[in-house]
């Protein structure tokens, strides 16, 4: 099956060759800033399971180990990936059918806003809990995203 998504203006489109997994909200400050929101909603595939089918995102190197991709025209955050490892993420909200993925966990909870109450019962991890993010999908996580 193919899962598709893209930015708000439609200039950047992508396809995932499998159902994404490791769906999470990251509450870390870097994700908050990158998303311009109170957390970043991300879901993962292996790097060779993601292809850009129309246009390409602009990439911003948010640290020396990771980059984030967004549409240069409309600004939609689309992508997060570490340089090392096989996994990368797209933003849940950019999926054409975000309702098809289900939240699995929270990361970066040390920076979760104190008034944010999601009550979803999902497991919670701090940013330095490096080995468990999304079933180990990201092998080189550090606090620098």
Tokens of residue 135, six digits: 């079933």
Judged by CB under 5 A, the chain residues 26 through 65 that form the site for Zn ion are 26, 28, 31
- Minimum CB distance to Zn ion, residue 6 (Å): 7
Q: How far is CA 27 from each of CA 14, 67, 82, 87, 126, rounded to the nearest angstrom?
A: 25, 17, 17, 19, 9
| Residue 28 and residue 108 in contact, taking contact as beta carbons nearer than 8 Å | yes
Judged by CB under 5 A, the chain residues 106 through 135 that form the site for Zn ion are 108
- Minimum CB distance to Zn ion, residue 139 (Å): 16
- Minimum CB distance to Zn ion, residue 18 (Å): 23
| Residue 107 and residue 125 in contact, taking contact as beta carbons nearer than 8 Å | yes
Residues near Zn ion (CB under 5 A): 7, 9, 11, 26, 28, 31, 71, 73-74, 108, 145
């Amino acid at each position: 099956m193919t899962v598709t998504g893209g930015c708000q203006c439609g200039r950047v489109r992508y396809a995932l060759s499998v159902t994404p997994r490791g769906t999470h909200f990251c509450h870390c400050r870097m994700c908050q800033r990158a998303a311009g929101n109170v957390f970043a909603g991300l879901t993962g595939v292996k790097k060779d399971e993601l292809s850009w089918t129309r246009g390409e995102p602009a990439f911003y190197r948010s640290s020396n180990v990771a980059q984030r991709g967004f549409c240069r025209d409309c600004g939609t955050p689309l992508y997060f990936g570490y340089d090392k490892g096989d996994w990368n993420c797209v933003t849940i909200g950019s999926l054409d059918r975000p309702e098809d993925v289900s939240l699995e966990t929270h990361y970066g909870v040390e920076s979760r806003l104190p008034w944010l109450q999601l009550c979803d019962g999902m497991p919670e991890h701090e940013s330095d809990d490096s080995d468990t993010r999304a079933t180990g999908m990201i092998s080189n996580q550090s606090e620098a995203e």
